[in-house]
Amino acid sequence: MRNKWLFIIIIFIVILSGCGTKTNGTGVPSSNYEYENIVESSAENDVFLFKLTSKKAVYQVGEPLEIKAELTYKGDEETIKIAHAASPIWLLTTNLTEDYQFEAAMNEPLIITPLIKNTPYVEQYRFSGGSYFEGAPGKPYSDDLIMQMVKGEFPPGQYEIKGRTDFAVGEDMMGDKINLETSIIFTVIE
């Protein structure tokens, strides 16, 4: 009888220990991170498709991030022109683990870009950073952290890249604004 109870207790312990080590399909324990990694997402309307992709769900510290955004015109015309600042695509970075939010900066006021039907306008991700200021969303961070990320050396943690479009159809920024938004999530490990 005593061996039976000992056997039941051992089985119960094995079952419980197996329940605490879930992974999210990337080999990274999900208990360390709040969100599941998403390597592709998109948003669209009747005329435009905006897609954001990461080649991998998990990167090593110092490994180049292979992330791109694509904006595709799928309307009736063969080509159209869009008006935008710096880029029609904004890629904002958030360290979900530490709650650091990095906003993008505009460095050019007005650009006109032609889009060809069904041919994606592609933008590779690059960290654009910014400086933390009082009242900004997220926790304060240092300029050293920004410089580290500019070099492509993201600290370990989980990150969200929020992509959004901000442009007007035609050559006038005051025209019909197109704002599509989507995001991906990836993890950086040591």
CATH number of the domain residue 148 falls in: 2.60.40.10
Q: Residue 72's CB: how many other CB atoms inside 10 A?
A: 19
Phi, psi of 6 (to 5 degrees): -65, -40
In a domain, 3, yes or no: no
Could you give the number of structural domains in the chain?
Answer: 1
In a domain, 10, yes or no: no
For tokens 């032609």, the residue is 114
The model carries a pTM of 0.78
Q: Could you tell me the end-to-end alpha-carbon distance of the chain, in angstroms, rounded to an integer? A: 49
Please list the alpha-helical segments (H only) found in 72-142: none
pLDDT in tens, the chain (190 residues): 555 544 444 443 433 333 333 333 344 444 467 789 999 999 999 999 999 999 999 999 999 999 999 999 999 999 999 999 889 999 999 999 998 888 776 667 789 999 999 999 999 999 877 666 666 677 777 888 888 888 888 999 999 999 999 999 999 888 889 999 999 999 999 9
Phi, psi of 135 (to 5 degrees): 95, -10
Q: Residue 186's CB: how many other CB atoms inside 10 A?
A: 22
102 residue type, one letter? F
Domain of residue 58, residue span = 26-189
